[in-house]
Structure 1
Amino acid sequence: MYPWYRAKPPQGADLSLYPRAYLLSRPELRLWHTFGMEWKEHIAWVAPILATAVAYLVARYGPQLAHEDRIRRALIVLFALAFATAAVAGLFGALITKAAPIR
């Protein structure tokens, strides 16, 4: 979907066929691109980084996690944040697609 979102419309083309151009051409929808899409693109990178950090720490501390409450709680929070960031990115993607569907 991303290449179609970023496609530049030819001169005189119907902007409704080009989601990014369509959002930027309408003042009431411009925020969906300037905030929503940019935020979605950047927050989506946080989820795999956090999940990788959790996987590393679980591999590193393994059985110690049963006795280390602080580390275990920190890992639970990091993993929940990974899911939350993925959910936010997915929500923004769905809302942007709703505002400017790809046809």
Structure 2
Amino acid sequence: MAEETLRVVLAIEEQARAIVAEGERAAREIDAQARAQALEVRRREEAAAAAEAEQVRAAGRREAEQARARILAEASEQARQMEEGAAPRVEEAARLVVQRLLDG
């Protein structure tokens, strides 16, 4: 009877080891899946952040180009106004020079 009890105990111990081994294997598999999912989430977040950063850079470039175009247009308009304002003074100066030459 003791021998039978010993065999039953050994069989139960073997089953317990098998259950523990299966649990450890399942835990490793679940852990590996969790790490893979976390890595995928991180990759997606990084890709989304990179895409958002590129959109912000593109918007910044567009705004800078628009500002540059406005500044150039304003400078061009100011130059045109200065030329228009200077033309009568240049004409008057030329008339005075000619008048002085004629006078003498």
Q: TM-score, normalised by structure 2?
A: 0.33
Q: What TM-score does the superposition give when structure 1 sets the normalisation length?
A: 0.33
Q: Which has the higher helix share?
A: 2
Q: Which has the higher contact order (CA 8 A, sep 6+)?
A: 1
